[in-house]
Structure formats: C-alpha cells, structure tokens
Amino acid sequence: MAVGARSGHDGPEDRADGARGENVTEENTSGDGTSSSGERPDGTDETDATGENGARPRKQRSFWKELPLLIGIALILALLIKTFLVQAFSIPSESMMNTLKKGDRVLVDKLTPWFGSEPERGEVVVFHDPGGWLETAETPKPNAVQKFLSFIGLMPSAEEKDLIKRVIAVGGDTVSCKEGGKVVLNGKELDESAYLYPGSVPCQDSFGPVKVPQDRIWVMGDNRQNSLDSRFHQELPGGGTIADDQVVGRAVVVAWPVTRWATLPVPDVFDQPGLNPAAALPAAATQATAAGFAVALPLVLWRRKKRAARHTAE
C-alpha cells in the first residue's frame, strides 16, 4: 500500500481533490473570461473599466468644448453683478478733485438701494442727469467692443450722461452759504477742509437758504470753483435738487489706477451732533409739554380745591 501510494497513481483522495478543484474552477470562472471576484485574466479589475455599478463612465469633455460654456456663465455673472451689485464708472471731469481725479475709475454700490437705502449726507454718489445739467456736455463715441464691455459692466459707462458729486443735504434739510463763508447745514457750519480741493473756498457766491424737499438731495463738488452742481441749477425743476430715484448708487472705492486705490468714507463733519433737524423736534416737543404742564397744573389744583369746598358745604 505504501509503495502504491508512491508510484504516482491517483488514489481515492487525490481524485476527490481533483474533482473538487475542478468544481471550484467552474464556479469561479464566468463566461466572459473573468473570475467572479471581478478580476480579468490579465489581472485588471473589472470595476476599473465599468465603474462600481457596472456602467461605463462618461467620457470627459475636452477643455475647448467647455470653454464657450464657461465664457457664457462668466458673462451672465458679470451682467448680474453690474445690474444688482457694483458697476464701474469713469470720472470725466475735475469737479471732485482731489478726492477723485479725471480718469479715475470708481466702483459704485448698487445693491443697498434695492433694499430701500437712501442717499446720506457726505456720501459720494453717481446719479443720472435729471435734465439740463449736461445739455452741452459731449460724450465720446465708443466702438462695438467698448459698448459690449460697458453693457456687461467690465468697462465704465461710456454713453450714459451720469454725474458724480457729494451729498451735502437730504430731504428736510436747510442749506445755505454766504460768499466766502462756510456752508451752513441746519444751522451748523460745516468744516469741509478734509475733502475740499486745496485752495478752494466752500462757495464763491451766496446761495440759500434752500429747503430740500423730501426724497431729494442737494449735491456739490469737492472742487467748488470747478463744479456745476446744485448751486448752478436752481432755476430748473427741483430747484437744483436731485430725486433719490435718480441716484445710481454710492461710490465706495477708487479701483483704478492702482496707485490711487482708496475707499470713499463719509467725512466726520457730517456726524457732528445736532446736525439732524429731526433731533430738534424732541427738544421742542419737551419744551412745549413743560409749558403746557406749567399752565395746566394751577388750573387743575384750583378746580380740585373748588370741588372740595363744595362738598364741605353740602
């Protein structure tokens, strides 16, 4: 028995193993030449070619095919930003020197007006010509490319007749100025040295007092001797004031040239106490109330004394 086992003839155990091995091979081999474990004969994984769910992945688009789509999305975003968020404007004159110089590019906030924000004193704002302010002004004729870039907001507006000035007074304010003196706002003199052009006086000629109607603003340039602002359009409808809905937005930053980059905050002079005419109303009301109380109190005491005497007599 031992010799027969060593002679190389298959014994019962060897044949059983061979049968079991043959069955394993049949079970682990699929009809397409791959094993049930997902491995191909060459050793590659079937999921590498077909994905986890057996589906072949989509072929990735080339960069050049996706480029037009990316450009289209960028243009749409630029148009939305220009319409609702910010827009670039070019400074066409020297009326706002030295705050803004001719050729500067400013970014104008167009978002806050959508939420009901109104122009405030001291802000630098861009507004549409209300009529008659830029009748003689000539605007350059842009080419097709400039028109397109201006339309989507990548270049400043070239054809629209817009102006940029500083808000000095808002609806309900009273503003005036005497020749050679300071601008007076609601009875308070304004120290404008922080933003006026060096050597410029607050006003050459006297004007006012002007009562600014509600929902309108009174604007002036920082270069007072070279600015055709509200002072010079008082004969027009509105008396030189601008309707709030004509305001495009507030200029918030000088974006170009880079050497001129700067923000455009509201000067501190417009935060001085007592400047708001509405602040005087509570004081006046308090005085009137106190006066009325002083008159009414003796009358009330006299009537109570009279009633007490009547009850005693009864």
Distance CA 137, CA 182 (A): 30
Sign of CA dihedral 109, 110, 112, 118: positive
- Give the tokens for residue 64: 């050049």
Distance CA 238, CA 218 (A): 10
Torsion of CA 295, 296, 297, 301, to 10 degrees: 120
- Give the tokens for residue 118: 């109104």
Q: Which of 82, 90, 150, 165 is catalytic?
A: 165
| Contact by Cβ (8 Å): 102, 228 | no
* Phi, psi of 200, rounded to the nearest 5 degrees: -85, 140
Distance CA 166, CA 202 (A): 13
| CA distance to 81, 121, 172, per residue, from 125 (Å) | 18, 10, 19
Secondary structure letter of residue 60 according to DSSP: P
| CA distance to 221, 253, 254, 269, per residue, from 260 (Å) | 19, 10, 7, 24
Active site residue 95: yes
Distance CA 3, CA 1 (A): 5
Render the burial of 70-81: b for 16+ CB within 10 Å, e for the rest: eeeeeeeeeeeb
Give Cβ neighbours of residue 191 (< 8 Å, ≥ 6 apart): 182, 269
Q: Which of 90, 95, 150, 227 is catalytic?
A: 95
Active site residue 305: no
Active site residues: 95, 165
